[in-house]
Amino acid sequence: MTGGEVAGILVAVFWAVLVTLLAVVLVRLAQTLKATTKLVADVTEQAVPLLADASATVRAAQNQLDRVDAIATDVQEVTSNASALSTTVASTFGGPLVKVAAFGYGVRRAMSRKAPAEPARADREAPAPAPAPAPAARGRRTVIVGRTVPAARRSRKQKG
């Protein structure tokens, strides 16, 4: 055998080994591609129903948000109606109620100042005169049936 023949045999063996390795790699690559294809098909089969469920959930959430928006609008309307009603009630009954309260206060105060005197009996001494009301502090004001009277005018009324 000559050197050229030996070199040719070595090159042929090298190519045979190389082709065998490439064939093994290609077979494994084909198996990997089959597994990948199967995995993608399985994921697609499971993803389609999941996407449909997610879409239905989003639609239901949108319906609930629409309901909440309608409820919030109704609550806002009720709140404005209640505000208007309370304003109306306050303006209608507020003034008269303040006047009735002031009148009641004035009646109570007048009744406490003028307690009825007991008739004098022979076996008892004459009743002692009632003490004069304490003078009002300077700067204070007295409310008489919805009107404020300054302290100076009040003291003149009490003296006279």
The predicted-structure confidence for 28-59, as pLDDT tens digits, reads as follows 999 999 999 999 999 989 998 899 999 999 99
Inform me whether the pLDDT recorded for 137 exceeds 60: no
The answer to whether 120 and 126 have CB atoms below 8 angstroms apart is yes
For residue 89, the model assigns a pLDDT of 83
To the nearest 10°, the Cα dihedral for 15, 18, 22, 24? 120
* Measured distance CA(11)–CA(139) in Å, rounded: 126
* Measured distance CA(83)–CA(96) in Å, rounded: 20
